[in-house]
A and B are shown apart, each in its own frame.
Chain A
Amino acid sequence: MKETLYSKAIPIAGSVLSIFSAFAAGGVILLFLGKDPLLLYGQLFIQGMGSTFGIVETLIKMAPLLIVSAGLLIAFSGGLWNLGVEGQFLMGAMLAGWLAPLLAPLLPLPVYFLALGLLGFAGGGVWALLPAILKARYDLNEIIMTLMMNYVALNLVSWLVKGPINDKTVVPAQTVLISMTHRMPMIPFTRIHMGLVIGLIVIIGVHWIIRRTTMGYQLRVLFANKRAAVHTGIRVKNITILSLIVSGGFAGIAGAGDVLAVKGLFQSGWNPMYGMTCIPLVFLARLNGYAVIFLAYFFSFLAVGGEFVARDQGIPIYFVHVIEGLMLLFFAGTAYLEDRRKG
């Protein structure tokens, strides 16, 4: 019992240490920029965690982080580097923004939401398909392929929204605005949309699949030792393709969710770059779905608090991304400490 408690505490300590170290390093950067780090971090926490407005905003912005992270969790659990979530997100968002106004008058509301969820999934999934097939068939590096697909998606959606799927009645390059009756409903008595609930269900479901089902087990074997996976009769190719598609599909659902709940349309130049946030997040969570929930709250708080601070203290929002990148570096560093502990 003591042993398991201890072995659970170490990885948590490592992640917490990475977060603190990143904040400390960020503080040094702030000093260089002539800002008072204590004042700034104080404001960040007070406004982001100490106010109702901050907490509600944080909960609202958690939804896409949870869903994108759930997708990454699947891929990373199998040792597959899906670095293309940005493109997959945009494809899902684009499909939802384009088709929601067309489907709205045709379908009853529940079917409409289901259809858009599936469209989002399809958009993201299709965008992961080519890297998945090439990885499975030719063992072609998926890191590069998924990254390249990001840039293709970026330009493709930009072209589509300026031309074929453009709302011709307005000047900006965007799709037709979705009417308020066909937006994502709110959680009763709040102004937090259902995305949060969907996100929580998705991440807990994914965690369960990875830890408790045969498929999840096979995925973890694939991560630990690919050769062993082949020899034990796991269909490595199928599982590679499936997990990458599902991984991309979730990023697409997150895109559809943001369009339906937050934006109300798809716009040229819009790219929230959740990959930059969710990749460090999933690593810090050490591929544990429950830890993802905590960290999604924390990273969402960082984004919300960061916006307050950007406005009040004149520190651009990019600072939050610096902190996230540093967390990833420090997280990599904790592996060294663990290595040494084991001897």
Chain B
Amino acid sequence: MPDSIFQEALIITVLASTLRGSIPMLLAALGESYSESSGILNLGIEGMMVAGAFSSFLVGLQTDIVPLGIFAAALIGAVMGAFTGLLVINLRLNQIVVGLGITISATAFCNLLHRVIFGNQFRILWGAGLTVEIPVLSKIPIIGQALFNQHWLVYVSIGLVPALYFILYKTRLGLRIRAVGQKPWAADASGVDVSRIRYFSLILAGALAGTGGAFLAVGDLAFFVPGMVQGRGYIAIVIVMLGQWNPIKVFLGSLLFGFALSLTSALQVLGVKVSPDFILAMPYLVVIVALILIAKSTSLPEAFCTPYKRGETL
């Protein structure tokens, strides 16, 4: 029965690569849902993912310890988040201009460093992208190999979904984050430190975006090339719009785009003669269609994109 074996392989490939492909966007989008809930649009997210991808690769290569690279990426992302906070919370600068500035500088800076350090060589980080097989569960036919034989960061990311949902909707901290995004002056009057909450959200968003970039470079793949993030940060922003800041809906949205990405490998396995360029455009087309479908029902936090100054209301 070569046919059924083939079909099985196809299903495993699609499931596994959907999950893997969705993780960078999932991590970035989880962080973005926190920063947007607190009223801040983090357009620098794309640059943070690039920085995460590059730093994880560089540190992983230098130390030969891949997890250290991922940690470095989270750290760099957090620092970039804090820096964004300084500009948009303390100095109350325009969030869109700052975000674009961060993305352009960070992307160019990583490309510059890559060229200076590696020249025109694209080295491979051996030992990156190793999967961890979960005993028992990975023995389940078909889905076992697809879902329970993944990189450890995949399990961590999925574990973060309910945890971040719980924090945002069931704890005092989450209530404060949402309050700061809706009515910062009311939150301030009731004793919430608006700046601190927004800093917390942005630093978390940065760390998660950096980790997302790291997964792309050293989890899913094992190298860094300029331009590899390819707008995944922006897609994460769309996923957050689709999921209305709810981490669980954000997870479902990420899977949708992961599926669009996995079509590339699925069609290759099937041997369908479709231009790879066409398939590569798929995730963006899905984003556009999704945006058109939800066009009428998007709503944003009331204080979205507005700096807070005590004594000022909207």
Closest 6 interchain pairs by CB? A325-B105, A325-B104, A321-B108, A155-B281, A159-B277, A329-B101
Given contacts A144-B291, A147-B231, contact A328 B275 (CB under 8 A): no
Are B277 and A162 in contact, with the CB atoms below 8 A?
A: yes
Which residues of A are found within 8 Å of B106, using beta-carbon distances? 325
Nearest Cβ distance between residue A330 and chain B, in whole angstroms? 8
CA distance A46 to B54 in the complex (A): 34
| Closest residue on chain A to residue B83 by CB atoms | A329
Are B93 and A321 in contact, with the CB atoms below 8 A?
A: no
Are B112 and A319 in contact, with the CB atoms below 8 A?
A: yes
| Closest residue on chain A to residue B41 by CB atoms | A143
Task: Choose, from A108-116, A251-259, A289-297, A332-340, the stretch at the interface.
Answer: A332-340
Nearest Cβ distance between residue B133 and chain A, in whole angstroms? 35
7 residue pairs from A and B, CB less than 8 Å apart: A81-B96, A141-B298, A144-B234, A152-B281, A152-B288, A159-B278, A276-B104
Contacts between chains A and B (CB distance < 8 A), count: 132
CA distance A148 to B234 in the complex (A): 8
Interchain CB contact (< 8 A) of A318 among B97, B115, B234: B115
Which residues of A are found within 8 Å of B288, using beta-carbon distances? 130, 145, 148-149, 152
- The answer, yes or no, to whether A205 is at the interface (CB within 8 Å) is no
Are B93 and A332 in contact, with the CB atoms below 8 A?
A: yes
| Closest residue on chain A to residue B108 by CB atoms | A321
Are A145 and B105 in contact, with the CB atoms below 8 A?
A: no
Nearest Cβ distance between residue B108 and chain A, in whole angstroms? 3
Are B237 and A316 in contact, with the CB atoms below 8 A?
A: no
- The answer, yes or no, to whether A331 is at the interface (CB within 8 Å) is yes
CA distance A335 to B101 in the complex (A): 14
- Chain B interface (Cβ within 8 Å of chain A)? 43, 87, 91-94, 96-98, 100-109, 111-112, 115-116, 230-231, 234-235, 237-238, 241, 275, 277-278, 280-281, 284-285, 287-288, 291-292, 295-296, 298
Which residues of B are found within 8 Å of A144, using beta-carbon distances? 234, 237-238, 241, 287, 291
Among A137, A140, A162, which residue has the most Cβ atoms of chain B within 10 A?
A140
Given contacts A130-B288, A333-B87, contact A140 B238 (CB under 8 A): no
Interface residues of A in 248-284 (CB under 8 A from B): 276, 279-280, 283
CA distance A163 to B274 in the complex (A): 11
Nearest Cβ distance between residue A163 and chain B, in whole angstroms? 7
Interchain CB contact (< 8 A) of A33 among B101, B116, B277, B296: B116
Interchain CB contact (< 8 A) of A148 among B102, B116, B287: B287
- The answer, yes or no, to whether A151 is at the interface (CB within 8 Å) is yes
| Closest residue on chain A to residue B297 by CB atoms | A138
CA distance A163 to B277 in the complex (A): 11
Which residues of A are found within 8 Å of B116, using beta-carbon distances? 33, 315-316
CA distance A22 to B96 in the complex (A): 19
| Closest residue on chain A to residue B104 by CB atoms | A325
Which residues of A are found within 8 Å of B230, using beta-carbon distances? 151
Which residues of B are found within 8 Å of A315, using beta-carbon distances? 116
Given contacts A134-B295, A144-B234, A332-B97, contact A159 B275 (CB under 8 A): yes
Interchain CB contact (< 8 A) of B111 among A156, A158, A316: A316
Which residues of A are found within 8 Å of B101, using beta-carbon distances? 280, 325-326, 328-329, 331-332
Given contacts A145-B291, A335-B94, contact A151 B231 (CB under 8 A): yes
Q: A156-176 vs B: 1/0 string, CB under 8 Å?
A: 101100110000000000000
CA distance A37 to B296 in the complex (A): 52
Are A325 and B93 in contact, with the CB atoms below 8 A?
A: no
Q: A303-343 vs B: 1/0 string, CB under 8 Å?
A: 00000000000011011011011101101110110010000
Which residues of A are found within 8 Å of B112, using beta-carbon distances? 29, 316, 318-319, 321-322
Interchain CB contact (< 8 A) of B285 among A141, A152, A325, A329: A152
- The answer, yes or no, to whether A150 is at the interface (CB within 8 Å) is yes
Are B275 and A162 in contact, with the CB atoms below 8 A?
A: yes
Are B109 and A163 in contact, with the CB atoms below 8 A?
A: no
Among B102, B103, B285, B295, which residue has the most Cβ atoms of chain A within 10 A?
B295
CA distance A318 to B106 in the complex (A): 11
Given contacts A316-B115, A333-B91, contact A155 B96 (CB under 8 A): no
| Closest residue on chain B to residue A135 by CB atoms | B295
Which residues of A are found within 8 Å of B109, using beta-carbon distances? 29, 318, 322, 325
Nearest Cβ distance between residue B216 and chain A, in whole angstroms? 16
Are A335 and B93 in contact, with the CB atoms below 8 A?
A: yes
Are B105 and A322 in contact, with the CB atoms below 8 A?
A: yes
Which residues of A are found within 8 Å of B115, using beta-carbon distances? 316, 318
Instruction: Name 15 extra pairs, CB < 8 A, besides A148-B234, A326-B101, A328-B97.
Output: A29-B112, A33-B116, A138-B296, A140-B298, A144-B234, A147-B231, A150-B231, A151-B231, A280-B101, A318-B115, A322-B108, A324-B108, A325-B107, A328-B100, A332-B101
CA distance A326 to B304 in the complex (A): 25
CA distance A328 to B112 in the complex (A): 18
Among A130, A159, A329, which residue has the most Cβ atoms of chain B within 10 A?
A329
Are B92 and A339 in contact, with the CB atoms below 8 A?
A: yes
Nearest Cβ distance between residue B219 and chain A, in whole angstroms? 22
Are B291 and A279 in contact, with the CB atoms below 8 A?
A: no
CA distance A325 to B92 in the complex (A): 19
Are B93 and A147 in contact, with the CB atoms below 8 A?
A: no
Which residues of A are found within 8 Å of B102, using beta-carbon distances? 325, 329
| Closest residue on chain A to residue B282 by CB atoms | A155
Which residues of A are found within 8 Å of B111, using beta-carbon distances? 316, 318, 321
CA distance A138 to B106 in the complex (A): 33
CA distance A147 to B291 in the complex (A): 13
Interface residues of A in 32-55 (CB under 8 A from B): 33
Interchain CB contact (< 8 A) of A329 among B87, B92, B234, B291: B87
Given contacts A151-B230, A156-B281, contact A279 B238 (CB under 8 A): no
Which residues of B are found within 8 Å of A279, using beta-carbon distances? 100, 104
Q: A175-195 vs B: 1/0 string, CB under 8 Å?
A: 000000000000000000000
